[in-house]
Chain A
Amino acid sequence: MTMTTSPAEIHAADAADPAVRPYVAPTGLAAWLTTSDHKRIGRLYIGFALLLGLATAVVGALLNLERLDSGKVVLPDDSLAQMLSLYRVGFAFLVVVPLLVGLAIAVVPLQVGAQGIAFPRAAALSFWTWLIGSGLLIGAYAANGGPGGGEREAVALFLSAFTLVLLALITAAVCVATTVVADRAAGMTLLRAPALAWTGLVWSAGLVLSLPVVLGNVILLAVDYRYGRSLFQGNVGIAKYIDLAIRQPQIYLYAVPVLGIVADIVATASRTRQTMRGVLFAGIGAAALFGIGVDIQASLNPDVREQFLFVVASLAFVLPVVMVLGWCGLALKNGRVKATAALAFAMLSLLLLLAASLAGALTGFKGLDLVGTTWENGHFNLVLGSAVLGGVAGVFHWWPKLSGRLVSDALAKLLVLPALGGVVLISAVELIMGFADDVPADRLKETGSDFGNAAGVAGLVGQLLLLVAVLGAAGLLLRAAKGGDAAGDDPWDGQTLEWATPSPAPVANFAEGVVVTSPEPLFDLKHAAGKDA
């Protein structure tokens, strides 16, 4: 056994040896607690990210309630800033990134023809570390320990918990990136890899290069906080030094997997061979590159927003999104499109991401004075909201392969409108208010709001719609897992390797190694079989 041998490979070797007692796999809860199967780890990430998504939507709803009557309703004065911080940190690191990491962990090894994910135990460790870190993070906020919090021990807990969350996500990214680089099937060059696999590589590389910078800041904050609070103004300075992780352009990076998910869903739905893959891959690569934003520590250096490079960086993200949108349009135009709920979610998420990138481009123009207003919150909601929609699209698309059961497409289509309406409402209201120089909820009492109850009501309705959509999606997944129709191995008439293995995919994914000679190996096979017949 080598350091990187996966349990699936050990069991396969043992099965061939009659002297070895047959391996009895754990079942029930034990199977989930001890798993190093990437499909299960991915599903755990997805499940808990959706659960925490519900909690985040509730926090968002409370913040919008606060807007009613200009901040005199629900929350005590000293908790507003922390609630806003919980919403932003939670949305990014407890919902969007883990949801997309989970999807990548579950699907990418199947797509590249690997027998498992690289470093399966590290991937499992990353999930449990993330889960424990997330629980502690929420606990720290609840105990008045978020950025600006007054409880010394709870603030220290926040810093430790955030460190755990970041370490876990970096570890997961290393596993995904290594799988794509080192474990691809014979003949699968990077250009022949499916779009999500390529996205998994460039996205993970982006996370590996950017999240450690945030981690470095958090370590220094923790050292300073533990030993004297002489450098970062104690609890007050924390928000400023973690801000780079939840601001433009870094938040774009969190949404990059949407591009790969959409491209794969469109490719499958169009049921034809895809052209111009170089353009698609270049677009996705550029998006990951432009999304790395740790170099712009704008809260530390406000002047950076006035620099030419910041304006260019703000504008740059539009280009890759347009490239991917153009590619998808071409694929849909040339294909024999089969409309599914996943396709609807996917295309809407891409359009929302385009809108977000355009809104972000406007932020770079000093004359508009959008910085420091609710415009930035609206932009944040639009980027991460589009990522949630893209993530849900991916989950609906690949769920049959992961669970062996079909999600009701008709019911899933019913969720498209609430999800879209939710993201649009929570974003558009704050974008409009930002143009009128309205301030975020934690500063309402200083300045008041020109929009009064209308903005609060609209935002509240948006959060509730999003809550319904996420709850509905989780319910549909559970319903499918419990008693959905059997999916079959290839329910969408797919073209890539993951659809060539049984549903649900066995522990070792593929019975034997495969050779790939094109980007659409299954498409080749079906057409060869058709010609032979």
Chain B
Amino acid sequence: MLALPAAPAPPRRRQLLVGTSFAAAASAMVVGGMLALYMQIRDNNGGNTVTWLPKKVVVNEVAANTMLITILSASLLVQWAVYAIYRGDRRHTGYALGLTATFGVAVIVCQARIYNDMGIKVAEGPYGPLFYGISGTFLLLTIIGLGFCVVAALRALGGRTSGADREIVSATALWFHMLSVVFCFVWFVLYAVK
């Protein structure tokens, strides 16, 4: 058998980050498709908030706006974690990831508050299933982000601040950036345009 010229195994080209990029794109498309369907069905039902929204619905806009600010802030904080881990600063990496996770939990709390104040069931007209389906999917993506954050924090705090362990922090950051961008659209469609 002919032997090809040998070479040392090439360094991993940020496999986790690349994989997370594809997963983030897929997740964004799930929510994007749902928002498109929401707009289409809203349009088919009169296309304005008077005809579209159930009469007794209460959309807590304060909580929604807080969610937007919180998720954008989490996106900034997680970038601090990336900066810290690339400098080998475990303590600040831990702070940054801890704060990011806290902000992620705050997003979930805001969403729970919105659900609590809604005053309608899931089965309420065409609006209910769409609202709960889209916001629930976003909630699930946020929980996945929290999982990412916890694993990255455990690795960083355990002293693993090189190679693939840095990469997981970058991947966590990418996930939170995706969440921020996606939520901007969710906020605009579900809470601004309604």
Q: Which A residues have a C-beta under 8 Å from some C-beta of B?
A: 2-4, 115, 118-119, 170, 173-175, 177-178, 181-187, 204-205, 208-217, 219-220, 223-224, 227-231, 241, 294, 297, 300-301, 489-490, 497, 500, 502, 512-515, 521-522, 525-526, 529
* Contact residue among B7, B8, B15 (Cβ-Cβ distance under 8 Å from A118): B15
* Contact residue among B3, B9, B23, B128 (Cβ-Cβ distance under 8 Å from A230): B128
Q: Is B137 an interface residue when CB atoms closer than 8 A count as contact?
A: yes
Q: Is B129 an interface residue when CB atoms closer than 8 A count as contact?
A: yes
B164 contacts across to A, CB distance below 8 A: 2-4
Q: Is B40 an interface residue when CB atoms closer than 8 A count as contact?
A: yes
Listed residue (A170, A184, A490, A529) with the most chain B CB atoms within 10 angstroms of its CB: A170
A521 contacts across to B, CB distance below 8 A: 4
* Contact residue among B7, B136, B168 (Cβ-Cβ distance under 8 Å from A513): B7
Q: Is B31 an interface residue when CB atoms closer than 8 A count as contact?
A: yes
A213 contacts across to B, CB distance below 8 A: 29-30, 32-33, 36
Q: Is B99 an interface residue when CB atoms closer than 8 A count as contact?
A: no
Which B100-136 residues have C-beta < 8 A from chain A?
121-126, 128-130, 132-134, 136
Asked whether B10 lies within 8 Å of A208 as measured between CB atoms, the reply is no
Asked whether B25 lies within 8 Å of A208 as measured between CB atoms, the reply is yes
* Contact residue among A118, A185, A216 (Cβ-Cβ distance under 8 Å from B37): A216
Q: Give the distance in Å from the alpha carbon of A217 to the alpha carbon of B32 in the complex.
A: 11
7 pairs of residues in contact across A and B, judged by CB atoms under 8 Å? A118-B18, A174-B23, A182-B12, A205-B22, A208-B22, A219-B30, A297-B40
A115 contacts across to B, CB distance below 8 A: 9
Asked whether B129 lies within 8 Å of A512 as measured between CB atoms, the reply is no
Asked whether B129 lies within 8 Å of A513 as measured between CB atoms, the reply is no
Asked whether A178 lies within 8 Å of B22 as measured between CB atoms, the reply is yes
Q: Give the distance in Å from the alpha carbon of A449 to the alpha carbon of B84 in the complex.
A: 71
Q: Knowing that A209-B25, A212-B33, A231-B128 touch, tell me 13 more A-B residue pairs with CB under 8 angstroms.
A: A118-B18, A119-B15, A182-B18, A183-B13, A212-B29, A219-B30, A227-B123, A227-B128, A228-B124, A301-B40, A521-B4, A522-B2, A526-B2
Q: Is B59 an interface residue when CB atoms closer than 8 A count as contact?
A: no
B26 contacts across to A, CB distance below 8 A: 170, 174, 208-209, 211-212
Asked whether B19 lies within 8 Å of A525 as measured between CB atoms, the reply is no
A227 contacts across to B, CB distance below 8 A: 121-123, 128-129, 132
Q: Give the distance in Å from the alpha carbon of A118 to the alpha carbon of B15 in the complex.
A: 7
Instruction: Tell me the nearest residue of chain B to A4, going by C-beta.
Output: B15
Q: Give the distance in Å from the alpha carbon of A220 to the alpha carbon of B31 in the complex.
A: 11
Q: Give the distance in Å from the alpha carbon of A4 to the alpha carbon of B17 in the complex.
A: 11
**Given known A182-B13, A208-B22, A216-B30, contact A230–B4 (CB-CB < 8 A):** no
Asked whether A174 lies within 8 Å of B2 as measured between CB atoms, the reply is no
A119 contacts across to B, CB distance below 8 A: 15, 19
B147 contacts across to A, CB distance below 8 A: none
* Contact residue among A184, A212, A241 (Cβ-Cβ distance under 8 Å from B30): A212
Asked whether B18 lies within 8 Å of A178 as measured between CB atoms, the reply is yes
Binary interface encoding of chain B residues 130-164 relative to chain A, with 1 for a CB under 8 A from any of its CBs, else 0: 10111011000000000000000000000000011
Q: How far is the CB of B148 from chain A (nearest CB, A)?
A: 11
Q: Is the interface of A mostly helix, strand, loop or mixed?
A: helix
Number of B residues, CB within 8 Å of A: 50
**Given known A178-B18, A186-B10, A526-B2, contact A223–B132 (CB-CB < 8 A):** yes
Which B1-57 residues have C-beta < 8 A from chain A?
1-10, 12-16, 18-19, 22-23, 25-27, 29-34, 36-37, 40-41
A231 contacts across to B, CB distance below 8 A: 41, 125-126, 128-130
Q: How far is the CB of B28 from chain A (nearest CB, A)?
A: 8
Asked whether B6 lies within 8 Å of A513 as measured between CB atoms, the reply is yes
Q: How far is the CB of A39 from chain B (nearest CB, A)?
A: 18
Q: Is B165 an interface residue when CB atoms closer than 8 A count as contact?
A: yes
Q: Give the distance in Å from the alpha carbon of A301 to the alpha carbon of B7 in the complex.
A: 55
Q: How far is the CB of B44 from chain A (nearest CB, A)?
A: 9
Instruction: Tell me the nearest residue of chain B to A204, going by C-beta.
Output: B22
Asked whether A4 lies within 8 Å of B12 as measured between CB atoms, the reply is yes
Asked whether B30 lies within 8 Å of A215 as measured between CB atoms, the reply is yes
A497 contacts across to B, CB distance below 8 A: 4
A526 contacts across to B, CB distance below 8 A: 2
A224 contacts across to B, CB distance below 8 A: 129, 133
Instruction: Tell me the nearest residue of chain A to B17, going by C-beta.
Output: A182
Closest 3 CB pairs of A and B: A228-B123, A213-B33, A2-B164
Asked whether A230 lies within 8 Å of B123 as measured between CB atoms, the reply is yes
**Given known A213-B33, A513-B6, contact A182–B15 (CB-CB < 8 A):** yes
Asked whether B2 lies within 8 Å of A513 as measured between CB atoms, the reply is no
Q: Give the distance in Å from the alpha carbon of A178 to the alpha carbon of B23 in the complex.
A: 10
A174 contacts across to B, CB distance below 8 A: 19, 22-23, 26
A217 contacts across to B, CB distance below 8 A: 33-34, 37
Asked whether A512 lies within 8 Å of B13 as measured between CB atoms, the reply is no
B124 contacts across to A, CB distance below 8 A: 228, 230
Q: Give the distance in Å from the alpha carbon of A500 to the alpha carbon of B5 in the complex.
A: 11
Q: How far is the CB of A248 from chain B (nearest CB, A)?
A: 18
Q: Give the distance in Å from the alpha carbon of A170 to the alpha carbon of B30 in the complex.
A: 11
Asked whether A178 lies within 8 Å of B15 as measured between CB atoms, the reply is yes
B27 contacts across to A, CB distance below 8 A: 212
B14 contacts across to A, CB distance below 8 A: 182
Listed residue (A118, A178, A227, A525) with the most chain B CB atoms within 10 angstroms of its CB: A178
Asked whether B10 lies within 8 Å of A228 as measured between CB atoms, the reply is no
Q: Give the distance in Å from the alpha carbon of A204 to the alpha carbon of B25 in the complex.
A: 12
Q: Give the distance in Å from the alpha carbon of A526 to the alpha carbon of B4 in the complex.
A: 10
Q: Give the distance in Å from the alpha carbon of A205 to the alpha carbon of B12 in the complex.
A: 20
